Structure 1
Amino acid sequence: MILVLRALGVGDLATAVPALRALRTTYPDQELTLAAPAWLAPLVELIGGVDRLVDAPGLGRLPWTGPAPDLAVNLHGRGPQSHRMLTATRPGRLLAFANTDAAHHDGPPWRPDEHEVDRWCRLLAWYGIPADRTDLALRRPPIGALPAGVTIVHPGAKAPHRRWPPERFAAVARHLTSTGHRVVVTGNRAEHRLAQQIAHLAGLPDRAILAGRTDLHDLATLVAHARLLVSGDTGIAHLATAYRTPSVLLFGPVSPARWGPPPDRTCHEVLWRGTYDGGRAGGVPHPALAALDVPDVLAAVERVERRVPAPARPPERVPVG
C-alpha cells in the first residue's frame, strides 16, 4: 500500500497530478491512499487513480489506523513536520526531499525556485519513478444544469494581498459583458459579498453571482465548459490549466515561473509585474498586482481570444441554485 501526503488546497493538489499519476502507473496493483483535506474529494475523483482519501486538513497528527504502508511519499513539502507525519505511520520506505532535521538523508535537495509541478516530478525521478509534467488533465464532468460557455470572473484569493481591487474586476466584467460575454462571478461562501459588490458595479443580474452557490465539483464543471476565466493566482486558475480553458491570470507576490500554467500553452495569458523575493509586501493588494490595470487585462483577453476563438454560443442553461 502507498500513502501520499498532500494536505493543502485546490491548486496544490492540481500541481501534484503528474506525480500522483506516475505513482499509479508505477504501482498499478498497490492501493493508493491520499492524505489530503476531505473537502477536496470531488477533485480527487476527477484526478482518478486514488483508491482512498484520508482526511488530513493540515500538518497535525495523521488519523492513520491501518497497517504500515509499504511506501510513504511526501508531496507536501520539504519537512521536517510533513516527514514526521509520514514516518509516524512506520512505512517500509519514505520518498521525500532530504531533511537533516527529520533525519531523512535519502532524497534530493530542495530547490525553492522551481515550478511546483517540476518539484514533485523531480522528487519521484530521484527514486526512479518517471513522471510526465504535462499530464495535468482532469476528467471533464458533464455540464448538467450549470451554465455553459460562460466567462468566469473569480476575484477571491486566500490572502488579501493576492486579491486584485474589486472595482477593477467590475470594470473588466462590465466591458466583457458589453462585447457579448456571459459573465458569472464565482467564489466561496465567505466571498459572496465581494462577488455581489463586483456584480452590482458591473451591472450584472443577481443570477450571475455564483459565489457560495457552487461546490468544488460544480466549480470544476463550470471551468471545464467555460469560454474564459479571469482570476488571480489561486486554485481555480489550475482548473483552467487542467481543462485547457482560455484564461487571463493575474499574478502578484509569487512568480508564474513557480505556479503558472505551462508557458507553451497559447490558451493562457499570464500577467505579472513583480520580482519574487520570497517575502510579502505590506500593500493590499501586493504592488505587483496593483501595477496591473484594467486595460492590461482587457488587452490580454483580446490576445487569448485571437489565438483561441470562442465557440458557438451554447444553449442557455438554468443557473445553479
Structure 2
Amino acid sequence: MTALLALRALGLGDALTGVPALRGLRRRYADHLLLLAGPEPVSNWLASLGVVDGVVSTTDLSGRPPGRRLGSHVAVNLHGRGPQSHQLLQAAAPRELIAFDSAAAGHLAGCRWFVDEHEVGRWCRLVASVGASCDAADLRLPITAASDRAVVIHPGAASMARRWPVTRWAHVAAHLRSDGHHVVLTGTEAELCQALSVASGAENLSGRLGIHQLAERVASAALVLCGDTGIAHLATALGVRSVTLFGPVPPTWWGPAIDLDLHTVLYHGSRVGDPHADRPDEGLLRISVTEVLTAARAQLAGTRPPST
C-alpha cells in the first residue's frame, strides 16, 4: 500500500487544528496508508483515535527526512510555508509533494500562503487544492465522558507572551470555588500551578496527566479556562465549554471554529504581537479578572456574553 506522509511536527494545539486536513486527505487517498510525521505522544494519541493509520516520530525539522524509508510515497507539508519543511520532505524523493508555493524550495504548484487566515481553513484549503474535502466540522474528536462539573484552569502556555498573570488566575479560581465549583489546575508548569493551588485552594493536577488523561479530564469538565494554547483546541474538539484569553495573536487566526455558542474569546489586541516574546502581550494584560469571571459564569449558566 502506498504511504501518504503528512508532516506536522508541532504541539497539541497545532496538531488538533490540522485534524480536518488529515481527515480530508484520508477521504481523498482512501487507498493509501496515512502516516503522521510528528512528535510523540500527541501523534500516537491521534493514531489511537483513528485520525491517522500510523506515526513517524518527528520532533523538529533538523533530523533525517521522515519519509526516507517509505519508498514511493506522497508527502504533504502541513507544517508550514517552507522552505525548510518543504526541503525536509523533498529529501526523501516523494513521487508527489502537496505543499504551499515556495520559490526557495523550488515548489510552485499554484497554492499561495496567506498570513491573515484561520489555521484550520489554511490547511483545508491546501488539501482542497488536490481534491480533498474537509471543513471545520472535522475538528470534532470521538471522546465523551460524563460531566463531573469541574472547572479546569490551564494557566500556562509555551511562551510568556501568551501567559496571563498567575495572580489574576488565582483570583478567578478563588471566586469560582466560592461559587461552589470544583476547580482543577492542569499544565506542565508544576511550580506555577503549585503557587496557584496554594493561593486559591484548587486541586493541582499539573505534571500528572498524559495526553490521554488530559483529554479525559477535559471531556468530563463543565468549563475550560485558559490562554491561547493547546488545551483550548482540545476543548473545541471535545465540545466542552471554554473561555480563552487571546493575545498577541487574534482569535480570527487561532480561535474556535465550531460550536461558537460553547466558546467565549476575550481579546483586546490592537495589533498582532510577537507570540514568542518573553513578556505577556499588552493586549492580553488588558483582559481583567472581572471579564474572565463574567464570561466563565455565563458559560457555566449555559449562556454566553458577546465575545470582546
TM-score (norm. length: structure 1): 0.89
The question of 1:286 aligning with 2:270 is answered no
Q: What is the 5 A alignment of 1:84-123?
A: 84-123=87-126
SS at match of 1:101: helix
User: CA 1:203–1:246 in 2, change beyond 3 Å: closer, same or farther?
Assistant: same
Q: What is the 5 A alignment of 1:38-49?
A: 38-45=40-47, 47-49=49-51
Cα contact 1:74–1:86 (8 A) shared by 2: yes
For residue 265 of structure 1, report the CA deviation from its aligned partner. Answer: 1.4
User: CA 1:108–1:240 in 2, change beyond 3 Å: closer, same or farther?
Assistant: same
User: CA 1:116–1:247 in 2, change beyond 3 Å: closer, same or farther?
Assistant: same
**Residue 235 of structure 1, aligned match among 226, 230, 235:** 230
User: CA 1:278–1:127 in 2, change beyond 3 Å: closer, same or farther?
Assistant: farther
Give me the whole-angstrom Cα distance separating, in 1, the residues matched to 2:178 and 2:132: 50
The question of 1:156 aligning with 2:159 is answered no
Cα contact 2:155–2:226 (8 A) shared by 1: yes
Give me the whole-angstrom Cα distance separating, in 2, the residues matched to 1:141 and 1:45: 17
Q: What is the 5 A alignment of 1:1-321?
A: 1-45=3-47, 47-60=49-62, 61-140=64-143, 148-188=148-188, 191-204=189-202, 208-262=203-257, 265-277=260-272, 279=274, 284-307=279-302
2:14 is matched by which residue type in structure 1?
A: D
For residue 305 of structure 1, report the CA deviation from its aligned partner. Answer: 2.7
Identity of aligned residues (%): 45
Structure 1 residues not aligned, in runs of 5+:
310-321
Cα contact 2:6–2:77 (8 A) shared by 1: yes
Deviation sequence 1:54-106 (CA, Å, 0-9, x none): 11101123244423343111100000011011111111111100010000001
Deviation sequence 1:261-289 (CA, Å, 0-9, x none): 02661010000010333535967211111
SS at match of 1:59: coil
Cα contact 2:239–2:259 (8 A) shared by 1: no
2:107 is matched by which residue type in structure 1?
A: H
For residue 46 of structure 1, report the CA deviation from its aligned partner. Answer: 5.2
2:47 is matched by which residue type in structure 1?
A: E
Give me the whole-angstrom Cα distance separating, in 2, the residues matched to 1:267 and 1:46: 26
Alignment: residue pair count: 301
2:244 is matched by which residue type in structure 1?
A: L
Identify which range, 195-204 or 8-17, moves more after superposition: 195-204
Give me the whole-angstrom Cα distance separating, in 2, the residues matched to 1:248 and 1:195: 18
Give me the whole-angstrom Cα distance separating, in 2, the residues matched to 1:17 and 1:280: 22
Give me the whole-angstrom Cα distance separating, in 2, the residues matched to 1:115 and 1:132: 12
User: CA 1:187–1:161 in 2, change beyond 3 Å: closer, same or farther?
Assistant: same
User: CA 1:8–1:107 in 2, change beyond 3 Å: closer, same or farther?
Assistant: farther
1:29 is matched by which residue type in structure 2?
A: D
For residue 221 of structure 1, report the CA deviation from its aligned partner. Answer: 0.8
SS at match of 1:38: coil
1:232 is matched by which residue type in structure 2?
A: G
Give me the whole-angstrom Cα distance separating, in 2, the residues matched to 1:281 and 1:192: 21
Give me the whole-angstrom Cα distance separating, in 1, the residues matched to 2:178 and 2:193: 19
Cα contact 1:16–1:117 (8 A) shared by 2: yes
2:154 is matched by which residue type in structure 1?
A: H
SS at match of 1:292: coil
Give me the whole-angstrom Cα distance separating, in 1, the residues matched to 2:237 and 2:277: 32
Structure 2 residues not aligned, in runs of 5+:
none
SS at match of 1:105: coil
Cα contact 1:266–1:307 (8 A) shared by 2: no
Q: What CA RMSD, in Å, does the superposition of the two structures yield over aligned residues?
A: 2.0
TM-score (norm. length: structure 2): 0.92
1:22 is matched by which residue type in structure 2?
A: G
User: CA 1:53–1:291 in 2, change beyond 3 Å: closer, same or farther?
Assistant: same
